[in-house]
Amino acid sequence: MRENSDPSQDGAATAPALAPDSSVEFVLSQADTPAKFCTALAKLFGVRPREVAMLRLEQGLLKFIFPEQLKTAGFIPVSSSSSVAAHTASTKKTQLFNTFTKVKHARVFETVKLTGAGEDESEQASIQKLMSVPVLNRERKVLGVIQVSRKAFDPSSAGPDFTLEDLQQLELAAKVASNMAFIKEPVGP
């Protein structure tokens, strides 16, 4: 389910320059908590940390381990037909959407206010663009899902489209995450 658009279109913004794979792997492997890992991913893709989500699979349920505000907001059954994260986990396939508002999906977690210091809580932007990748162990068992989004009030202000190169970088990040303790086992309270 990859949706592509022509990056050569007039007015198309350019994505941030991505680091070579080895340095990406090194930086991410040093991130020993979900927050540090997702913050590093946010920097890599030029998004805000609240636009990165990490979910761990536990007993058939996807549970948020980042962002912090979503840890207590609920969980997603892998069997859910309306969740992109559940679809990513159940099919073990990556997904890229540059017109995400046109995709039928559960919006319940988009309504949770995710604000950082100094940010306005009065308005909540919607996900306009999304990449979703499974985190798989060596045996290809699903450990979780990582999603990177661009949120805005309309597509034109959401920033550059995600590219296939971005998706490959996120797949590499998922491989690094598969070796991290925080995705393999529940984190304490």
CATH code assigned at 153: 3.30.450.40
Question: Is residue 136 in a domain?
Answer: yes
Question: CA gyration radius for the chain?
Answer: 16
Q: What is the mean pLDDT of residues 34-44?
A: 96
What pLDDT was estimated at residue 126? 87
Q: What is the mean pLDDT of the chain?
A: 82
Tell me: pLDDT of 119 over 90. Answer: no
Question: Is residue 38 in a domain?
Answer: yes
| Confidence grade of residue 155 (pLDDT, cut at 50, 70, 90) | confident
pTM of the prediction?
A: 0.80
The residues, any chain, with a CB within 8 Å of residue 66's CB and separated by 6 or more, are 34, 35, 37, 38, 52, 53, 54
Strands 142-152 and 52-58: antiparallel
| Confidence grade of residue 133 (pLDDT, cut at 50, 70, 90) | very high
Domain residues for the domain of 53 are 21-112+126-184
What pLDDT was estimated at residue 61? 95
Question: Is residue 172 in a domain?
Answer: yes
What pLDDT was estimated at residue 13? 42
Question: Is residue 118 in a domain?
Answer: no
| Confidence grade of residue 113 (pLDDT, cut at 50, 70, 90) | low
What's the token pair of residue 177?
A: 């995450």
What's the token pair of residue 99?
A: 């017109």
pLDDT digits (tens, 9 = 90+) for 61-97: 999 999 988 888 788 999 988 899 999 999 999 999 9
Question: Is residue 3 in a domain?
Answer: no
Question: Is residue 9 in a domain?
Answer: no
Question: Is residue 176 in a domain?
Answer: yes
Q: Which of 53, 20, 25, 14 is nearest to 162 (CA)?
A: 14
| Confidence grade of residue 18 (pLDDT, cut at 50, 70, 90) | low
Amino acid type, 100: F
| Number of structural domains in the chain | 1
115 or 168, greater pLDDT = 168
Question: Is residue 6 in a domain?
Answer: no
